[in-house]
Structures are given as C-alpha cells and as structure tokens.
Amino acid sequence: MMSLLKSIHSGKEYSLDEVRFTADDGELLDVVHDFEQVKQQYKISKEYFAKKRSQINGQPSGGVWHFKELVMPEINDDYIISKQEGNTRLYRSKKISSWLGLSAERFYLKHEGENPTGSFKDRGMTVAITIAKYLKQQAVTCASTGNTSASLAAYASEAELPGIVLIPKGSVAVGKISQALAYGTKTLVVNGDFDDCMRMIQEAQEKLSAYPLNSINPFRLEGQKTIIWEILLQLGWKVPDWFIFPGGNLGNTSAFGKALFEAYQLELIDRMPRFAVIQAEGASPFYKAYKNNFLELKKEKAETIATAIKIGAPVNYPKAVRALKWTNGIVEAVSDEEILEAKAIVDSAGIGAEPASCATVAGLKKLIGKGEIKSKDTVVGILTGNILKDPQCIVDYHFNKTTPLANAPHSIEASIDELKRFL
C-alpha cells in the first residue's frame, strides 16, 4: 500500500483498511503516503500539475482530485464521490487592500465559499465520504457548527448513505441548517454546545459504529490540503509571505501545514511561508495557548457571532501546534465588532463572505497595525464560507443604525419624485 495511518506521537502505523480515528494511545492520526513510490509512478513536479488535465469518472475533476496522487493515490475512481469541488477563485480587491493598507498587487483572497455547498468543507467531504464507501460504512455522522452538516448532507445524498448530523441548539446560521434539511439528512438539534456534539460523535463511533466525518477524520484533512496547493498553482508556485485564515476546530491549520510540509518534501516549493491563524476573542483557546508557548490547551465556553468558529475545545490542536512550528506561525484574536466591520468591507467590495471567514480580514488589519505583517508582504487570505450562509447577521447589521457601515433600506411611496431623492 502507498498510504497508511500513522500516530502523530508514537509513529505507530495502521492499515488504511482499518476503521479508526485515533491511535491506540488516543493520539491523532495522519494519513501518510509513500512519496518515493508516488514519484516513481508519476513525474510529480510543478509542471506536472500545471499541465495535467484530470478527469474522474468521465467528468473534469475539481481542484481536490487534480491532486489525487498526493491525496489518495491508490483509491479506485469507482469509489470517488465528487462534485468537482475546488477550482475556486483567487480574488484581488483594490477596496479591501486599501482599507488594509496593503498593495493590491500583493494581496489575494481565495474564496472557498464558492464550493458546491458554499464552504471549504466540501474539499474534505469528498475524500472522507469516498473512504466511507471504500470501507463499506453503513451510516455517516458529524457534529457541526453548520457547514460540515450542509456538506455531509449533500455528499451523503449523492453516495446514497444515511446521514445524521448533530448541531448545537441556537448556534447554527439559517443558511446552513436549511441546507441540511433540504438535502434530506436527519438533523438532530442538541441541547448543548458544539463541544458536546463532538463528544457524542466520538462515542457514537465507538458504540454505534457510525462513521464520523468531522475533521478528527484524517481523510478530511487530505482533501483540505488542496486549498494550499491550488493557490500555489494559481500563483505559478510562487510562495507568498503569509497565509492567513480563521481557526475553529483547527482542521485547516493542520491540513495547510501538512500541505506545505509535503510540498517542500516534494520540491514543489523551496521555502515555507508563515501562517497567521485568527480566532474570535470569545472562542480563542488556541490563541491563549499560543500566548503561553503551547504549554497547555485550556478548554473554554465559546461565544462569538462567528458561529463557524464558535469552538472551545479544538480537536486538531496537536496537529495545529505542529503546523505553526513548521511555518513559524502566529495566532491573533479579534472581537466580534472587528469581525463585523471587516465583513462590511469584504461584502461592500462585492465579494462577500460569512462572519467566520471575515475574521481573516479583521485579523490581517490588526496584524498590519501591530507591524507583524508589513505592507510590502505578499499575503493570501482564505475566505472559508459563502455570504449567503448567514443572511440574518447581514440584516441585523444593516438595519442597526448605530453600526458604522450600515446600509439600511429606505421606504418610499410609489412615485418618481420620491425615487429622485436617492439619485
């Protein structure tokens, strides 16, 4: 086999054919591939991925399966459940750059909200649900702040697998819960928070054999690696100075670190960029651990308007710490007010994203203010979710006359004179 599971701590190895999510000692698992063997079989290089025209089951493949050799080299195409996820746009914006004080030529926003169900979760989902099929699993589950459940629901439907999603009561945006309902998955609203849901999912795996598709599932992270490779491909493999993105359960932090570590091993890049991970102040256990030299992770009760990162006990913490070490990374925290202001800017630039995604831009503003990120640096920010995921947040912001960038609607009579007042 070219791929196996390996404990990130002890290095103990397990077969890919085993259904498991942690090592015997409870530590997290990596999916590792034998890149020497992969390189013998395929001529992996920058040009290889630039020239390659990939297809899965007769369809042009998305950004994830374009990198199949480095994601899941041996899986038979018959198992693959794909919606051509990935191939998302890399935007530039004069408006956002000038608000930040960055050069418009050196600032990019990768919009992962332009995936099939509106978030980057689809990139991990295509790989993990493919493995669920390969392992002949009978049902799939997840705990979700919303986007994972939306993604699971769509992919489970395509794979014809029953799905059950657990969402915390009162903490999921309307766009997301409506997707889970519409795609037809069983949706259970738990009287508890995300961290309670996550604990139940881990128990359900052990006691009820339901296959979890959370980012504890190491195959999810294999798909999410491709966000970084796709950006590098879009930039002609020129490494930016910074990647900046939000951190909740820290799946992306972990996956992005692995993507760069592997790209360096494969000589696709010749230097490591730096990471800046942004948390919401009310849900910032990773930020606090970073400030304390990663001596310990203290779980907390999370509270923030950015529901996608409202997580107090991130399951991927050890992998995220490793990723920050690889990338000489930093962590910052921003208030809900800062997130909402950044969101108003991102939205008014005609790009738009959900609140958690805009923590990226709020954090960037703060780090530029502190001089940690310089105006001459090349920066790629990642927008993780679509603007339409959380319409309530937008309406609340713009109807509130006291918010700084409010754009409330006006009521007029049906006459051209009234209209004239606004032109």
Q: How far apart are CA 317 and CA 257, in angstroms?
A: 12
Contacting residue, 5, 228, 305, 356, with ligand PLP by CB under 6 A:
356
Which residue number, 63 or 248, has a Cβ lying nearer to ligand PLP?
248
252 part of the interface to ligand PLP, by CB under 6 A: yes
Q: How far apart are CA 53 and CA 74, in angstroms?
A: 18
Contacting residue, 175, 247, 329, 352, with ligand PLP by CB under 6 A:
247
HEC string for 346-363: HHHCCCCCCHHHHHHHHH
Which residue number, 69 or 112, has a Cβ lying nearer to ligand PLP?
112
Q: How far apart are CA 70 and CA 34, in angstroms?
A: 9
309 part of the interface to ligand PLP, by CB under 6 A: yes
250 part of the interface to ligand PLP, by CB under 6 A: yes
Contacting residue, 142, 143, 357, 393, with ligand PLP by CB under 6 A:
357
**Binding residue count for ligand PLP, defined by CB under 6 A:** 18
171 part of the interface to ligand PLP, by CB under 6 A: no
> Do residues 269 and 324 make contact, with C-beta atoms less than 8 angstroms apart?
no
Contacting residue, 384, 387, 390, 393, with ligand PLP by CB under 6 A:
384
Which residue number, 141 or 384, has a Cβ lying nearer to ligand PLP?
384
319 part of the interface to ligand PLP, by CB under 6 A: no
Q: How far apart are CA 391 and CA 176, in angstroms?
A: 10
Q: How far apart are CA 190 and CA 39, in angstroms?
A: 47
Q: Is 45 exposed, middle or buried (0-12, 13-18, 19+ CB in 10 A)?
A: middle
Which residue number, 88 or 252, has a Cβ lying nearer to ligand PLP?
252
Question: Which residue is closest to ligand PLP by CB?
Answer: 385
Sheet of strand 211-212: strand arrangement: 186-190, 163-168, 140-143, 211-212
Which residue number, 69 or 195, has a Cβ lying nearer to ligand PLP?
195
Which parts of 253-412 are beta strand (E)?
Answer: 274-280, 330-334, 379-383
Contacting residue, 147, 187, 214, 327, with ligand PLP by CB under 6 A:
147
CB of 195 to ligand PLP, least distance (A): 12
Q: Which residues are within 8 A (CB) of 68 and not within 5 positions of it... i.e. 6 or more apart?
A: 54, 56, 61, 75
165 part of the interface to ligand PLP, by CB under 6 A: no
DSSP 8-class letter at 60: E
User: What does the binding site for ligand PLP look like in residue numbers (CB under 6 A)?
Assistant: 119, 121, 147, 215, 246-252, 308-309, 354, 356-357, 384-385
